[in-house]
Structure 1
Amino acid sequence: MRCKSLFAVLLGTVFVVFQASRVLAGAADVLVSTAWLEENLDNPDLRIVEVSVNPGQFERAHIPGAVNFVWHTDLVDPVQRDIASAENFQKLLREAGISDGTTVILYGDTNNWFAAWGAWIFDVYAVPNVKLLDGGRAKWEDESRPMTNRVASYAPGNITLGERNEMIRARLSDVMAVVDGSDQAKLVDIRSPDEYSGRIFAPPGVQELAVRAGHIPGAVNVPWGEAVAADGTFKSADELRKVYAAVGIDGSEPVITYCRIGERSSHTWFALSKILGYEVRNYDGSWTEYGNTVGVPVVNLAGTVWGGK
């Protein structure tokens, strides 16, 4: 019995060490530091892509050699609400000089919200060797690293995309299956506490609205900012694990992240799936779809009612 107990302890220790090393390797595989990127600006096998939300950022100045992807025209279908088609996305990547062997570094403003959303789209199309600049544009600027307003141009790349990987994307029907109990998953609402409680419908100044406030039944609230340190970089894997374990998210069940239109939740999707290795889907329909859908249950703790203004 003593031998069996000792074997179990040793086996458990090996498993924990393996999991820890896998997570650390995962973070190294999907994030690059500002120092590393500056040292590799001239690497011909590297392509840097800015995905910012605020207009004029790239045009004002950007990381040398970077190309600009405009989130609301380049990364989405221009007519129906959907991400860019495989044909259009492949054309975009080739025009940016991206080939099958290229390593892509994504960065942007607002703590990489839309850069992370771009990383999620790259993952939907199973593009390998895609990483985020940890800390994004703000950290690069704060450290006075080189910037330019010169727009780079590259010879067309030859990347070829396959079919979409829908396994990392949640639809309304998937969320409803969790709500009605026919499927098991943890719902993580990464919006602000005021949005989650229903006190406000959306952050000030945004145009995309839902006519109902509140959150999806069963969802826990972990605002996206809890995943980052003061300088905008992701917290360590151990810190992230504790943040989410505090609300019952420990990787033992699949996770669905959502926000308002799917971009902030991509940041949390990245932390949970890429750094911690959990099984995660991003619900890009998010609250603007769910909160505008007739007949779905809503939890509105604040009891606010939309008045059409």
Structure 2
Amino acid sequence: MRSGLDCIHPEQPPSGTDLRQEDATPDGPNLTEYALPEPLRLRTTSAAHSGACPVLRTSAFLLTIAAGLLAPTGLSAAPDPAAKPPKENAAKPNAAQDSPLVSTEWLEKNLDAKNLRIVEVSVEPGVFERGHVPGAQNVVWHTDLVETVSRDIAGPEKFTALARRLGIDRDTTVVLYGDNNNWFAAWGAWVLAQYGLVDNVKLLDGGRKKWEAEKRPLDTRTAEVAPSAFTAQAPSGKLRARFADVLAVAKRERDEHILDIRSPDEFSGKVIAPPGIQELAIRAGHIPGSVNIPWAKAVNPDGTLKSKEELKTLYAAAGIDGSKPIITSCRIGERSSHSWFVLSRILGYDARNYDGSWTEYGNAVGVPVVNLAGTVWGGK
């Protein structure tokens, strides 16, 4: 058994095929190529030890007391220049991070914060086991965050068990990160938000990609945390769009934006889904009235999100400026949760995620669909 933080030196790309190769298009970064950086070197620091305490002379001691008694009330004593400053924001991580994003630098400084939980939600199997942010716990999106029989997010009983295992309470700061530019980490944030965990839930800006590129420490040990007493109530429906909602927009019965964040080929109907994908629809195309901005357009080459002003400009070009509600949609609802996070948490727009997405809508009978051949079934 290794002691301390295990240093990982990845030299080969992970084996196996990415089961979600959906975004290898010219319209955004190629997120299907997973190239690990050069060997990562774990940096360790040793605590500074103070020397022997100097003996105080009696006269100096008495003068100090006298000065304290004569000092005006309301003035605090001058800080001891030899005293070791506390670790920055280590006790209260939320105090320094009102933003829904945390930087890699901030997270490394706060790895030992008492009320902080770090959670990885990645696509590539085995990537967590090969090395993760020290103290992180692993969440598998297709088993931990969903009901495995019915198609739904994790119900209250299952989510309660998950939150308790992770040591998450209502006041816990949770930092989520993952591979593929935080694609499934954002899905995790959306699920947590439906159970009331919103303001204290953050994304690591840049995710695994930036953390590894900067050669920050990785660990292979399983984090040990005290279980919480969290109890989930019924999930809120405010952040989730349903089939009836998008159908009403398609029929022009509701005035809302539908943002389809799939690749242009999926949106146009040239393909139903990217190669190798199992979850398919009977029809290809998109929901009438929707606009197409691939989710990866919100991401910089280093994996971080673009600036707030850049994001506003990106969506405003398609008419999405926050003036009316927005529904994000993709194929199975995961990619669109990334755009939901950007629109809702970063820009503050009224946004919901349609997790049924095209595999629900494209399989429905008698609904309006737009594809390369035009409208298959006409609405109003």
TM-score range (shorter-chain normalised) is 0.7 to 0.9
Question: Aligned-pair distance for 1:183?
Answer: 1.3
Q: Which has the higher helix share?
A: 1
SS of match in other structure, 1:282: strand
Amino acid paired to 1:169: R
Q: What's the counterpart of residue 351 of structure 2?
A: 280
- CA deviations on 1:19-50 (whole Å, 9 max, x unpaired) are xxxxxxxx952000011001111112100000
Mapped to 1, the partners of 2:339 and 2:170 lie a distance apart of 27
Q: What's the counterpart of residue 89 of structure 1?
A: 159
- CA deviations on 1:191-245 (whole Å, 9 max, x unpaired) are 0001101111111221111121111111000000111111111111111000000
Question: Aligned-pair distance for 1:289?
Answer: 0.7
Question: Aligned-pair distance for 1:162?
Answer: 2.8
Amino acid paired to 2:111: L
TM, length-normalised to structure 2: 0.71
Matched, 1:136 2:207: yes
SS of match in other structure, 2:144: coil
Amino acid paired to 1:211: I
Question: Aligned-pair distance for 1:298?
Answer: 0.8
Which residue of 322, 327, 334 corresponds with 1:251? 322
Which residue of 267, 276, 281 corresponds with 1:205? 276
Total equivalences in the alignment: 278
Question: Aligned-pair distance for 1:100?
Answer: 2.6
Counterparts of 1:51-130 in structure 2, within 5 Å, are 51-128=121-198, 129-130=200-201
- CA deviations on 1:28-73 (whole Å, 9 max, x unpaired) are 5200001100111111210000011111111111111000111111
Q: What's the counterpart of residue 301 of structure 1?
A: 372
SS of match in other structure, 1:167: coil
- CA deviations on 1:236-282 (whole Å, 9 max, x unpaired) are 11110000000100000100000011111001001111111000010
Between stretches 228-237 and 187-196, larger displacement belongs to 228-237
Amino acid paired to 1:103: T
Question: Aligned-pair distance for 1:159?
Answer: 2.0
Mapped to 2, the partners of 1:28 and 1:285 lie a distance apart of 31
Question: Aligned-pair distance for 1:90?
Answer: 1.2
Q: Which runs of 5+ in 2 are unaligned?
A: 1-96
SS of match in other structure, 1:105: strand
Mapped to 2, the partners of 1:148 and 1:196 lie a distance apart of 40
TM, length-normalised to structure 1: 0.87
Counterparts of 1:32-47 in structure 2, within 5 Å, are 32-47=102-117
Mapped to 1, the partners of 2:226 and 2:282 lie a distance apart of 47
Amino acid paired to 1:300: N
Task: Name the % identity.
Answer: 64
Question: Aligned-pair distance for 1:302?
Answer: 6.0
SS of match in other structure, 2:336: helix
Q: Which runs of 5+ in 1 are unaligned?
A: 1-26
Q: What's the counterpart of residue 261 of structure 1?
A: 332
**Could you tell me whether the CA contact under 8 Å between 1:48 and 1:66 is conserved in 2?**
yes
Question: Aligned-pair distance for 1:283?
Answer: 0.1
Between stretches 76-85 and 97-106, larger displacement belongs to 97-106
Q: What's the counterpart of residue 236 of structure 1?
A: 307
- CA deviations on 1:97-149 (whole Å, 9 max, x unpaired) are 11232100000111111100000001111114100001111111111110011
Which residue of 174, 195, 203 corresponds with 2:245? 174
- CA deviations on 1:162-207 (whole Å, 9 max, x unpaired) are 3311011000001011111221100100000011011111112211
Question: Aligned-pair distance for 1:83?
Answer: 0.1
Question: Aligned-pair distance for 1:154?
Answer: 1.3
Q: Whose radius of gyration is greater, 1 or 2?
A: 2
Mapped to 1, the partners of 2:233 and 2:147 lie a distance apart of 18
SS of match in other structure, 2:370: coil
Mapped to 1, the partners of 2:343 and 2:286 lie a distance apart of 20
